[in-house]
């Protein structure tokens, strides 16, 4: 017979609240209920996930206020609000970005896109190479470039007011001084930098409008402007290609994120626009994710 833990018992120990949270999140079909339960408890208690696991194993007690804060956080997650909106933070490379309503939650696969851009920027033979991030969202890629290639100058462009505020906050928290944020439409941004940029990177919206994402966290909480790219998903990619051709110096590098089935169509599109040597790289799951081309 399995023991039934009543909600009252569940509030008394970390192990009890963990079991309650896992049950509620599993019933709501959250894909990783144990991970999410432990991260939500960690968030409420202000400790690491490892410490939550240790406390759960040692019958560590919980005060009532903390228990109710966990229950509330778990209810929100069970309604499929993104974990990162509840904790207010999204890890990305060396950063813990502030995120919430109005901004796209950075994805782990984008860390590999940023890596390609970082490598290209670090390889530029100039004392102060210049990079532009078109459609920066939370600022994830741009701030990573500024932090990880400290001798570079980075300019981030965003045209959503909500996202721009999150990106500004993230840039300020990171303390970087080599990053400038510009509120502009990426199709027309930064004419003053034409021909002067070494690396242009972008994670544009690229989902075809009729390919509605299955996960409610994406469908209901990520801004539509960060997800959908018109009929074939490539409308904004075409804008990025055009704008990047003007921004980059000859020999400069374009680094583009795209969907796992779009590598070939992106390479064709870029070759037709006059880019040299388009090549597609895979992410850590082995899926086509990043296409690089030379101006
Ligand atoms: N990668 C996004 C997703 O997972 C799609 C849009 C984007 O990243 N630009 O939903």
- The per-residue pLDDT for range 3-47, each reduced to its tens digit, is 555 555 667 999 999 999 999 999 999 999 999 999 999 999 999
Name the domain count of the chain. Answer: 2
Integer Cα distance of 17 and 30 in angstroms: 17
Spatial CB neighbours of 5, under 8 Å, sequence gap ≥ 6: 16, 19, 20
Domain boundary among 30, 47, 79: 79
Integer Cα distance of 103 and 184 in angstroms: 16
Integer Cα distance of 258 and 247 in angstroms: 20
Is 2 part of any domain? Answer: no
User: In this prediction, what percent of the chain has a pLDDT beyond 90?
Assistant: 96
Is 179 part of any domain? Answer: yes
**What pLDDT, on the 0 to 100 scale, is given for residue 11?**
77
Would the pLDDT of 165 be above 50?
A: yes
Q: 99 and 68, same structural domain? A: no
**What pLDDT, on the 0 to 100 scale, is given for residue 1?**
46
Q: 152 and 72, same structural domain? A: no
Domain that holds residue 39: 9-79
The verdict on the CB of residue 113 being under 6 Å from ligand 1 is no
Q: 121 and 252, same structural domain? A: yes
Q: 161 and 69, same structural domain? A: no
The residue contributing the CA closest to ligand 1 atom 9 is 205
The verdict on the CB of residue 105 being under 6 Å from ligand 1 is no
**What pLDDT, on the 0 to 100 scale, is given for residue 290?**
98
The reported pTM is: 0.94
Q: 262 and 134, same structural domain? A: yes
Task: Give the number of other Cβ atoms within 10 Å of residue 111's Cβ.
Answer: 17
Average pLDDT, stretch 55-83? 95
The verdict on the CB of residue 275 being under 6 Å from ligand 1 is no
Domain boundary among 49, 79, 109: 79
The verdict on the CB of residue 205 being under 6 Å from ligand 1 is yes
**What pLDDT, on the 0 to 100 scale, is given for residue 69?**
96
The mean predicted confidence, pLDDT, of the chain is: 96
């Amino acid at each position: 017979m399995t023991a039934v833990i009543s909600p009252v018992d569940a509030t008394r120990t970390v192990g009890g609240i963990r079991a309650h949270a896992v049950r509620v999140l599993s019933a709501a079909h959250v894909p990783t209920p144990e991970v999410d339960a432990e991260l939500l408890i960690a968030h409420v208690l202000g400790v690491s996930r490892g410490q939550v696991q240790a406390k759960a194993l040692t019958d560590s007690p919980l005060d009532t206020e903390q228990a109710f804060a966990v229950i509330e956080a778990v209810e929100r997650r069970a309604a499929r609000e993104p974990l990162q909106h509840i904790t207010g933070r999204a890890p990305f490379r060396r950063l813990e970005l502030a995120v919430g309503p109005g901004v796209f939650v950075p994805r782990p696969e984008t860390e590999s896109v940023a890596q390609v851009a970082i490598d290209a920027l670090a390889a530029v033979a100039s004392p102060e190479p210049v990079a532009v991030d078109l459609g920066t969202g939370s600022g994830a890629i741009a701030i990573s470039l500024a932090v990880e290639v400290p001798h570079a100058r980075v300019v981030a462009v965003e045209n959503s007011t909500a996202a721009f505020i999150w990106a500004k906050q993230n840039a300020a928290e990171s303390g970087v001084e080599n990053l400038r944020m510009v509120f502009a439409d990426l199709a027309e941004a930064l004419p003053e930098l034409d021909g002067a940029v070494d690396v242009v990177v972008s994670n544009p919206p690229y989902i075809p409008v009729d390919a509605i994402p299955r996960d409610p966290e994406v469908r209901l909480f990520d801004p539509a402007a960060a997800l959908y790219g018109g009929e074939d998903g490539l409308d904004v990619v075409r804008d990025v290609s055009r704008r990047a051709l003007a921004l980059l110096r000859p020999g400069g590098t374009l680094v583009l994120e795209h969907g796992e089935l779009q590598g070939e169509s992106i390479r064709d599109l870029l070759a037709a626009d006059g880019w040299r040597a388009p090549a597609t790289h895979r992410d850590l799951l082995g899926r086509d994710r990043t296409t690089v081309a030379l101006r």
